[in-house]
Chain A
Amino acid sequence: MIEFLSNYYTYVLMVVILGIGLYMVIASENLVKKLIGVNLFQTAIFLFFISMAYVEGGSAPIVPHDGVPLEVMVASPLPQVIVLTAIVVGIALTAVGLALIIRIYAEYGTLREDTLREVRADE
């Protein structure tokens, strides 16, 4: 068990964050917290990509100016590029989500989903 954890702790961490994020989306009544949950969920996936690209003893994926190419160990650059793109997408989503929450707050005067449900049921 300890050995498993020490070998795969990044993956365990990812699953834990993923679970916390999903739980927040489902269980939290606060709309902003729900959105934070979505963000956590996405961040866990980014961490997953990064940790899978990690190479033991590898350096940053930058071309060395006088190194022998075959002897340089680098982390795979592809997942890192992917994660950069995915982060941008995530930020855009968060921005749109927060804008929607502001609109909902302006219209209904609440951030809580259960209150929102009651207010809407009354109308």
Chain B
Amino acid sequence: MSSVDLLLPLLIVAPILAATLPIALGLWFERTGWSVAGLTTLGLFGAAVSLASVVYSGGEEVSHKLGGYPRTYGIELVADEFSMLIVLLVTAVATGVLAYTRRGGPRGNTFYTAYLLLVGGLLGISLTGDVFNLFVFLEITSLATYALVASGDGPESAVAALKYLILGTIAASMYLIGVAFVFMATGTLNMLELADAIPAAESQTLIRTGFAFIVVGFAVKVAQWPLHTWQPSAYQQAPDGVTPLIAALVSTASAYAFGRLIVTVFEVEYLAGVSNAAAIVLTVGCVSVLAGTVLAVIQTEVKRMLAYSSVSQFGLVIAAYGVVVAGSSETALIGAAIHLVGHGLLKAGLFLGAALVAASYGARTVDEYAGLAKARPIVAGSMAVLLLSLVGVPPGVGFVGKWYIALGAVESQLWPVAAVIFLSTMLTLAYAARLLEKMYFTPPAAVESPHASGSVATDGGEVDAAAETDRADAVSIGMIAVVVVAALGAVALGFSGGAFADLLEPFLTEVFN
């Protein structure tokens, strides 16, 4: 067991160090970025799997103290049952997206540098055991995300990235103020030490203020209505190959961090005693669920629609945290964990599918998806599976998460939450069905879509045969395979809901006792 804990710092340091290589090697060799990023990501995935096998088979957390300093004033990295889920998701999705970008782009050494920084930051968020380092890793992730969003084609992406930067920085600063207040009251930054110190702290007002700032900070980072405004334009304007990565991972990691703070740092029992804490978290989540789905229904652009759908799906996770606090419900926490992982996978698959459709079929709006099932049956089929899973049709993974969250809400007698989940499922069906109907039951429009340009300029009217083959060339079998794997994974995970609950069991007993 002695060497296993070295994997923890390695998982964070390796991608950050490797991030320097594409640019440095780029001075001598032109196209090294992909191989460096590919090797690193595969290594990370392997390391994550081996670490996960230790954590899940041993049934106890693996921790590493940096520099050997005790955790009272040193920095600790912790891998337990909850964080390993996110680590596995991050490394798996990163590998999938990287496989896609080999042909699908964006390319270039700077892209791979930002990509590796992003992965390093995300793994840092998942593994850190220290609230201040959480802030640093949040900012590393955000910086890489701003750069990636800004690497989109038009000038619009720079505007979207700047908006994201300003809001994201304010959010992270809010979180930092929260940390400052909590630190002021307790004098420690380590999560486990805080868990002991918070109920015993002299000034409870400071801690409540801190919690309030942290809630606001994470509400922005996780894109909860009405603080979500940065998110749709950032997702829409980012390059097609980048959106799957940030949509699946960045907000997921922030939502995970928020959950970690609730269950490990502040602890369910303590927060249940703070008046209105649970009610506020619940309300933020439930309102986002409804507002996000309603906004998604009225969108015409597919990427924007999926972005708003993220607002609602993360609302569900935050609402689940509310249920965890209000009803000290283990079931809701299982649901939140499954939904985080499941939604990450679904959104990665859906955005990859949307990127694939944009590259091969030239469609970006819902109307342009008409006739996709005839022209590109495999992609359309995979997207259909992913969409249905997003709605919550069993056996998709979306169903399992929602089921556990709803079950937790019912067990805790929180009927409004259950009603919100039911209503949002209906609304999710509304926008998913619109896309499905276009893909399968509407004949393709004769007019060439205006968004089809890319490298080839079309003047509308007749379909240019050369342009058509050119676009088909832009898609490799590997790119399609990634989307199909995501769809299959979503269904396969749907069958393993019980396994998730078993894996999380040791963590749950620790939290709720």
Contacts and interface: CB of A to CB of B under 8 A. Distances in A.
Q: Do A and B come from one complex?
A: yes
A107 B155 contact: yes
A73 interface: no
Contact of B132 (A38, A82, A93): A82
B143 A92 contact: yes
Interface in A48-85: 48-49, 52, 76, 78-79, 82, 85
Contacts of B169: 38, 41-42, 93, 97
B180 to A, nearest CB: 5
Interface of A: 18, 22, 25, 31, 34-35, 38, 41-42, 45, 48-49, 52, 76, 78-79, 82, 85-86, 89, 92-93, 96-97, 100-101, 103-104, 107-108, 116, 120
A49 B166 contact: no
B165 interface: yes
B6 interface: no
Interface stretch (B27-35, B170-178, B258-266): B170-178
Interface SS, B side: helix
B159 A120 contact: yes
Given A25-B166, A31-B162, A41 B155 contact: no
A86 B146 contact: no
B350 interface: no
Interface of B: 73, 132, 135-136, 139, 142-143, 146-147, 150, 155-156, 158-159, 161-162, 165-166, 169-170, 173, 176-177, 180, 183-184, 187, 189
Contact of B166 (A34, A103, A104, A108): A34
B155 A85 contact: no
A78 B159 CA distance: 37
Contact of B177 (A35, A48, A107, A120): A48
A65 B180 CA distance: 32
Contacts of A45: 173, 176-177, 180
Contact of B161 (A22, A85, A100, A107): A100
Contact of B139 (A41, A89, A101, A120): A89
Given A79-B183, A103-B150, A93 B165 contact: yes
Given A82-B189, A89-B139, A104-B155, 10 more contacts: A38-B170, A42-B176, A45-B177, A45-B180, A48-B177, A76-B187, A86-B135, A89-B136, A100-B146, A100-B158
A97 B165 contact: yes
Given A78-B73, A86-B135, A92-B143, A108 B183 contact: no
Contacts of B187: 76
22 contacts: A34-B166, A38-B166, A41-B169, A42-B169, A42-B173, A45-B176, A45-B180, A49-B180, A52-B183, A86-B135, A89-B136, A89-B139, A93-B143, A93-B169, A96-B147, A97-B165, A100-B146, A100-B161, A103-B155, A104-B159, A116-B159, A120-B159
